[in-house]
Each structure stands twice: as structure tokens, then as C-alpha cells.
Chains A and B, each alone.
Chain A
Amino acid sequence: MIRSKMLLVSGIALLLVLGGCSKKTEDEGTETKEATSSAPATPIDMSTVGDVSGKITLNGTAPTLKPINMSAEPYCSKAHPTPVTPQDVVVGSGGALQNVVVYVKDGLGDRTFDVPKDSVQLQQKGCMYEPHVVALMAGQTLQVVNADQTTHNIHPIPKDNREWNKSQPPGASPIEDTFARAEVSIPVKCNVHPWMKSYIAVFKQPYFVVTGADGSFDLKNLPPGTYTIEAWQEKYGTVDQQVTVGAKELKTVNLTFNAAASGD
């Protein structure tokens, strides 16, 4: 009697595990198929291309962010003798906004593009992500490096791509992965060190850039046409502007986020 009851419990357990595993395999299969079915790139006449450049700024006062407390992890604490603040909003002189993804949202039509062979690197250094925001093309390799002498886990939480979560002990070889679908932007977390947050923006086209400390951007080699240029910031969302680029034309687009938009 006891044996039969225990067998029943074990049987239900086994069925649940098998059910869970089979679904995971299906998901992975679909993802691989989408990533590999890319069409040949549409040729672009390089003699007519133009540029769109500009600056991203913040209008208003940036929120005061509380410093990160790394005392739970001695290695991380030692890496930062002075307190570190989160990189949610990094504002430079004149309101220049760093870590903003600027990209062509609309106007490229059905053009297709080659996926770059070189990888984009996301580094874990001093228990922080460097850079805080990375952008790459769908199918392009993301290389995650652990430069720390402590264990991290890398956990992108996408809406349209496959979620994954991998551990990376100190000295482990880089983790390489790709994202099959365009998505702006995928939050990345380290659950071992809950203050570690980063974002990955994925595009189907190569016209994107992440702003540096001066908030400037330059989208080069755009074919003549009318485009919607959009900027995404993790706390303030998106702003956009339409621009028409003629042959060999250099256009300027300045976009401004409103500090009140975050609700802080």
C-alpha cells in the first residue's frame, strides 16, 4: 500500500518534469529557426548616403539616486572605495544624457542588412555592467565577460526573445549568445548582486547608437529618405522626430526628454 502510494507520487513528479523539459526544447527550436532565416542584404548606393547627428538632453532636474550598498559582497565593496550610484540617469554638462539608444524607428522599408561578424561585449567589472546599455543587431553575437573575482549570473528578461539565465564564475570563459528578434530594450539583471542592471537593445537594421557622456549621436550612411528617429531611455521611455535626408545630406536632430516623464 505504502509502496504504491509512493510510486504514484513519483510518477506524477516525473510527468511534470518531462512536461516542463519538452516545452523548453520546442521554444529553443523556434528561436533558432527565426535567427537563421535572414534574407540577403539590400544593396545601398554609398555615393548618395547621408548622416543624421544630434544631441540628446534632459529637460529638468535629474532624480537624486541613492548610492548602492555593496556591503553584502566584500569583493564588490573593495572594488569601489567611494560610493557608486546607479546608472539609471547619467546627465552631463548642459543636460547631455548618457546611455540613450538612438535609432531609426521607421523609414527603411523592406531593406535587409547583413549581420556584423564581430561581437558586442558586455563586461561585468567591479560588480557593475560596462557599458550600462549595449545595442546590437538581431543575430549578432553578444559576448559577456566576467572581469570580477566573484560569481555573477547574467539574466536577460526579454518580452519578444528567448529568456536565458547563465552563471559565470570568476575566470570562466565569455558567454556568447544572440537575440533573434528586434526589441528595445531587454533588461539584464544579475540576481546574485541585485543592484547590477543593464539593457540590451536589439535591431534588425544597423542604424543605431548609444550616447556617450556628451549625449551626442551620429547615424551614418543613411540612404536618402524620410525617417523617424527615436531615442529610448530606460527611465524616461521614448521621444522621436521625423527627418528627411537627401543625397549626401547631413541633418541634425536634437531630442529632449522631460524629467517629469518618469513620475519621480
Chain B
Amino acid sequence: MGMNRALNRFAVLTTGCTFLLLIAGALVTGNDAADSVPDWPLAYHRIIPPLTGGIRFEFAHRAVAGVVATLTLVLAVWIARRERRRWVRNVGWTALGLVVAQALLGALRVLKGDPAVTATSHATLAQLFFVSLICLTVFTGEWWQSHQPVLRDAGSPSLRALALTTSVIIVIQTILGAGYRHGAFGIWPHLVGAGAVTAAVIVVARNARVRFGEVKSLRRSVIFVHAFFGLQIVLGGAAWWAVQAQQRAPQPLPLLVGITVAHVLGAALLLSASVVLTLRCYRLIPARREATEFSGRAKHSTEAAV
């Protein structure tokens, strides 16, 4: 398989810009500025609104979103034209579909309010869109497209399944976190989710170390999952303190906004690390059925040769 280095770099660029978009979006919520621009797609009936107060955050978010949407469109079309693997092309189109849906959810948030539903959905989809770009970055990258050893996983459940489950639990936890931030749920579901993530991360990391401790790519992924998980626990505690401390403040305070924004970004990084670990497991470890068929075929060919 030939690797298109420019395409991969463009995927990395798009992912980087999307990370900036996550920052911009979290700043809007942190500064309570989501409703500072009541109209959409224009802002105060203009392309560039008066850049004052909360409008600066909301307009910056829209501007970066426009850049990211354009980059994603270019990326999807580029992949569609240059990529031989059909499933990668489909991931490209999925990313484009997600960014369009994300823009529409943003519009609904502005035009219809109801943050418990619209903002929670918008925040959740933001993470999923970011993950889709992480996937594209991995799929178009050198590691994925170069020759890799086939690993046999004798453990049960398989590391593939454990890694996938961990990623799904983290996605659910981001929904619970977004729901708490936007008033859809209380703190308890998010705390229970944190417990579930803790358990999942411990189990997947331990199994990865025990079964494939010598495999560098998996070991690295586990280190990233551990690092972002630890960071996220600290930021989660700090964010909780920030929310309590801010209750009597007349307006959002910069330090507290910073902590809650960092917590949102920590979630994106932890989810990304977990997804990369999952993808690497899928790349290196064949499914049980595939592994059986493979060894069966090998046995037959050995017998025939004999």
C-alpha cells in the first residue's frame, strides 16, 4: 500500500484545527456566551458582528468552525479521489457528515435554545467528530499502512473487545459530562461514569501489559491512555471545585473557565488515546474467527506440502 504523505499531513492539520475548535466551543460555554449572538448563520444580521463581550467567544467559535468544515470537505474529497481503500473513503464521508450535522446542531442551539438537549448533543457530537478525524489521521498514516506483525490474543475477553468497550464507556462518559455541563443531568451520573472509566482503563491497560507488554505500539498507546486519564481525574476534581467556587460569583471567572475548558479538552484527549489503542488492537490482533481460519488454512497447506 502506498502512503500519501501530503494527505496524512492534511488530516493532521484538520485534526489540529478541530482541537482548536473544541477549545473555542468550550470557551463559549465557559463564558456563558452561547446565546450572545441570537441569529444564525449571520451574526447581528452581519457577517462580522460587533466584537464585544461574549460575542467575541461565540463569533470566534463560528469562524473556526467554518475553517474546520472547509478543511473537512477538502479532506473528504481528497480521500475520495486518492484513497484506494473504500472503507477509508467512507470514514472520510462520515467525518464530513458529522461536521455538517454539528453545524446544524449549533444552529439549533442558537435558534431554539433548550441547551439541555441541543448543547449536550452539540458537545457530544463535537467529540465524535474529533474522533472521526483521529481515525482518518491514523488510517492515512505510515504506521497503519506499513507491514505489522500479526499478534495472537489467547486471553478472554480479547484485548480488542476490552479496548473497544473502554472507548464506548468514555464516549458515554463524555455524554454524561456534557449533560451535566448543560443542565441535562446532575453530577451523579457523571461521577458513576468516572468510576466506570476508571475500571475500564485499569482493566484494558493491565491486560495490554500482561498480554502484549513487548509490543511497542500498544505499550505507547496505553501510556497515553494512562497519562490523559490521570490528567482528566485531576481536572475533573478541579472543575468540580471551580463550579462550587463560582456559584456566588457575579460572572464566569477566568481561572475557573480555564479549568472547565481544560477538562473538556482532557476528555477529547483521553477518548482519542483510547480510540487509537482500539484501532491499533484491531490492526494487530485478528478477530478470533479470522485467527482460527488463518491457522486452519496454514495447517491445510502444511499437510498438503507434506
Contact = CB atoms under 8 A, between A and B. Distances in A.
Interface of A: 1-2, 5-6, 9-10, 12-13, 16-17, 20, 23-24, 63, 65-69, 72-73, 75, 85-86, 150-151, 153, 155, 157, 163, 165-167, 169, 189, 191-195, 264
A191 B248 contact: no
A264 B248 CA distance: 8
B12 to A, nearest CB: 23
Contacts, number: 103
A141 B38 CA distance: 21
Contact of A65 (B38, B113, B250): B250
Contacts of B100: 9-10, 12-13
Nearest to A263: B247
6 contacts: A16-B104, A24-B112, A85-B250, A151-B53, A191-B36, A193-B54
A69 B246 CA distance: 14
A194 B32 contact: yes
Interface string B123-160: 00000000000000000000000000000000000000
A17 B104 contact: yes
B301 interface: no
| Chain B binding surface SS class | loop
A195 B250 CA distance: 5
Given A13-B101, A24-B112, A193-B54, A66 B31 contact: no
B113 A69 contact: no
B196 interface: no
Q: How large is the interface on B (under 10, 10 to 19, 20 to 34, 35 or more residues)?
A: 35 or more
A72 B54 CA distance: 9
Contacts of A169: 44, 50
Given A20-B107, A191-B36, A167 B44 contact: yes
B53 A192 contact: yes
A175 B53 CA distance: 21
A151 B55 contact: yes
Interface in B92-135: 93, 96-97, 100-101, 103-104, 107-108, 111-114
Contacts of A163: 113-114
Contact of A9 (B33, B93, B114): B93
B45 to A, nearest CB: 8
A165 B250 CA distance: 21
Contact of B37 (A12, A16, A167): A167
A15 to B, nearest CB: 10
Given A153-B38, A165-B38, A66 B250 contact: yes
A169 B55 CA distance: 12
A73 B52 contact: yes
A194 B31 contact: yes
